[in-house]
């Protein structure tokens, strides 16, 4: 069995990454492709333990470097114990957030130099980079509103706003712009999806991107 494909979903708060990851997994299974869904921070026992620390809204003040190192500690364990074994077994791995979230949250928004993130990617991530990244693009106000609604409706198991969601609106607009900039700079890997649409319309765009990028017969 060959190596599986690695698909990541990125985007701001409330953009629907978890929902779209689930819908994509279900559709791939329907066409005979076995998948594994995971998330960051998290995805392995050690990484899930760090997730509670990283997203704690009561976390004392700390630097973007300290935060990034926590993420990469979790990421190293996640890759070694979850992502790579799944890919090597032929599964298609679908991950809710990955390296682009670090570039955006700790890099562009947090001020951590890109060279540091690049070095960490070389040390921890290489050669396991995504085959396809789906950037779910949504206006900051709409995304935050959706995230709040999901907590109220208890659709999202993490019912308390996390440390990032509690930041001001300007911070979230900066995140949106940074995600778009990454996607525009790396069109071979990234596809921007309009996530302001209704859920099924968003998925139609997601599925079209996956079909054209990963399922189309080679020319």
Radius of gyration of the chain (CA): 17
> Would you state the pLDDT for residue 142?
86
Least confident of 10-14, 94-98, 112-116, 143-147: 143-147
pLDDT band at 162 (very low <50, low <70, confident <90, very high): low
> Would you state the pLDDT for residue 152?
60
The single-letter DSSP state of residue 3 is P
Mean pLDDT, residues 45-54 taken together: 96
State yes or no: pLDDT of 183 exceeds 80.
Answer: yes
CB distance 80 to 42 below 8 Å: no
> Would you state the pLDDT for residue 42?
98
State yes or no: pLDDT of 165 exceeds 70.
Answer: no
Mean pLDDT, residues 96-115 taken together: 96
Distance between CA 158 and CA 191 in Å, rounded?
A: 27
Mean pLDDT across the chain: 92
State yes or no: pLDDT of 151 exceeds 70.
Answer: no
Q: How many other CB atoms sit within 10 Å of the CB of residue 136?
A: 24
Q: Bigger pLDDT: 55 or 96?
A: 96
Q: Integer distance in angstroms from the first to the last C-alpha of the chain? A: 22
pLDDT band at 107 (very low <50, low <70, confident <90, very high): very high
Question: Of 3.40.50.300, 3.65.10.10, 1.20.1250.20, 3.40.1080.10, which CATH number belongs to 6-215?
Answer: 3.40.50.300
pTM: 0.90
State yes or no: pLDDT of 39 exceeds 80.
Answer: yes
Which token pair is 100? 């682009």
> Would you state the pLDDT for residue 175?
93
Q: State the pairing for strand pair 92-96/6-11.
A: parallel
127-138 confidence digits (pLDDT tens): 999 999 999 999
pLDDT more than 70, % of the chain: 90
> Would you state the pLDDT for residue 93?
99
Q: Where are the domains of the chain?
A: 6-215
DSSP E strand boundaries for the chain: 6-11, 35-39, 92-96, 132-137, 190-194
| Distances from the Cα of 6 to the Cα of 9, 117, 154, angstroms | 10, 20, 29
């Amino acid at each position: 069995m060959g190596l599986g494909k690695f698909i990541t979903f990125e985007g701001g708060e409330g953009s629907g990454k978890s929902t779209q990851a689930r819908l994509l997994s279900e559709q791939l299974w329907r066409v005979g492709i076995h998948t594994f869904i995971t998330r960051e921070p998290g995805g392995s026992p050690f990484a899930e333990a760090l997730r509670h620390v990283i997203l704690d809204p009561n976390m004392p003040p700390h630097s973007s470097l300290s935060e990034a190192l926590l993420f990469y500690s979790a990421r190293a364990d996640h890759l070694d114990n979850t992502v790579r074994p799944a890919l090597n077994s032929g599964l298609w791995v679908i991950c809710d957030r990955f390296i682009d979230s670090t570039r955006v949250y700790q890099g562009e928004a947090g001020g951590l130099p890109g060279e540091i993130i690049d070095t960490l990617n070389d040390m921890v991530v290489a050669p396991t980079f995504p085959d396809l990244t789906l950037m779910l693009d949504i206006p900051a106000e709409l995304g935050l509103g959706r995230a709040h609604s999901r907590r109220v409706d208890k659709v999202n198991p993490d019912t308390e706003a996390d440390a990032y969601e509690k930041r001001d609106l300007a911070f979230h607009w900066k995140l949106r712009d940074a995600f778009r900039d990454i996607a525009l700079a790396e069109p071979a890997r990234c596809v921007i999806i309009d996530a302001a649409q209704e859920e099924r319309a968003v998925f139609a765009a997601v599925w079209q991107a996956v079909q054209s990028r990963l399922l189309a017969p080679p020319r």
